[in-house]
Amino acid sequence: MYIEEFVAYLQKEKRMSKNTLEAYKRDVLGLIAFLESRGSHNVLETSSTDIVAYLHNLKGMGKSAATVNRKLASLRSFFNYLMKTGLVKENPTAGIKSPKIEHKELEFLSIEEIDKLLDTPDDTLKGRRDKAILEVLYATGIKVSELIDANVDDVNFRMGFITCAQTSSRARIVPLGRPARAALEDYVYDVRDKLIKDNKGEKALFVNYYGKRITRQGLWKMLKEYGEKAGIEHKLTPNIIRNSFAVHMLQNGADLKSLQELMGHEDITATQVYLSATKNRIKDVYDKAHPRA
């Protein structure tokens, strides 16, 4: 009953993306389903004990600490909204600590590995499309969802940038480097129409052999293929390329605030995780290069 109003509030006041809004909605629905399984049908009567039981249930289902934290954050926002509207007097999530997250070592490629990866696609129509995809992913650091959702109209070749936006209010403009721009121009002007064939109304920037928007599964499969061809030891994912973009930017002098804007992070703490990787890399270089390290 209150979920749609909550989502509308987030969209208007917080200007969240479509994917984020859907995640918040799923998280609240998850709690409601749990409460109903315990015989409670009024979310306004949720207690802190209910919340703790729900979190323990998630943990018992094998959910990671990061997933539990995200769901708890969604529920905090939901009950804060209910308090703001006067529907509840207290937030049942107040005082409940988030589970500690064990931070995994950041996975990213070296510049040499990136160069090898970008040189892997051949000169076929598929290869030229894939070359453009790889170049854009590395040049911009955009998320896989942003790449898949991108339309042809989002690219400005004259100015050399791509607009990433799932809601117009959250649009951000990311520059395209010269190699990415060249690969993208080749794809858009000489390859895309041949892939689309008779499907002239398709707006998607990147399409598959059916002339339809490329899927997440298709992109992951493509990256796995090129990762193996390039001899990259670990499984290649869009996030590893995004991490590589961020780490290489910092290694070459980019400031944290600019990187935050390029990557679309709402909180700079999300960007700061890349600093540890650059510091570790600098220490490795020092240890290997300095005669008295």
Give the model confidence (pLDDT) of 269-278 as tens digits: 778 888 877 7
Stretch (H or E) spanning 287: helix 268-289
| Averaged pLDDT for residues 23-40 | 90
Q: What per-residue confidence (pLDDT) applies to 268?
A: 80
Residue 185 to residues 155, 158, 197, 207, Cα–Cα distance (Å)? 10, 11, 18, 15
From 11, 91, 89, select the one nearest 50 (Cα to Cα). 91
The class level of CATH for 3-84 reads mainly alpha
**For residue 225, how far is the Cα from the chain centroid?**
21
C-alpha 229/C-alpha 175 separation (Å) is 28
Predicted confidence band at 69 (pLDDT cuts at 50, 70, 90)? confident
The CA distance from 93 to 208, in Å, is: 45
Residue with the two structure tokens 């990787």: 277
HEC string for 100-143: CCCCCCCCCCCHHHHHHHHCCCCCCHHHHHHHHHHHHHHHHCCC
pTM here is 0.65
pLDDT of residue 168: 42
**Confidence band for 286, pLDDT divided at 50, 70 and 90:** very low
Q: Would the pLDDT of 134 be above 90?
A: yes
Tokens representing 263 are 């990557």
List the catalytic residues. 242, 286
What's the confidence (pLDDT) of residue 18?
Answer: 79
Output helix, strand, coil percentages for the chain, rounded to the nearest 5.
60, 5, 35
How many contiguous H segments (helices) and E segments (strands) does the chain have? 13, 3
Share the mean pLDDT of the chain. Answer: 86
Residue with tokens 């060249």: 182
Residues of the chain with CATH 1.10.443.10: 111-289
Q: What is the dihedral of CA 28, 31, 33, 39, to 10 degrees?
A: -140
Spatial CA neighbour of 128 closest among 182, 71, 82, 66: 182
* Cα–Cα distance, 78 to 70 (Å, whole number): 12
Q: Are 242 and 143 in contact (CB under 8 A)?
A: yes
Q: Does domain 111-289 have CATH number 1.10.443.10?
A: yes
- How does residue 293 score in pLDDT terms, banded at 50, 70 and 90? very low
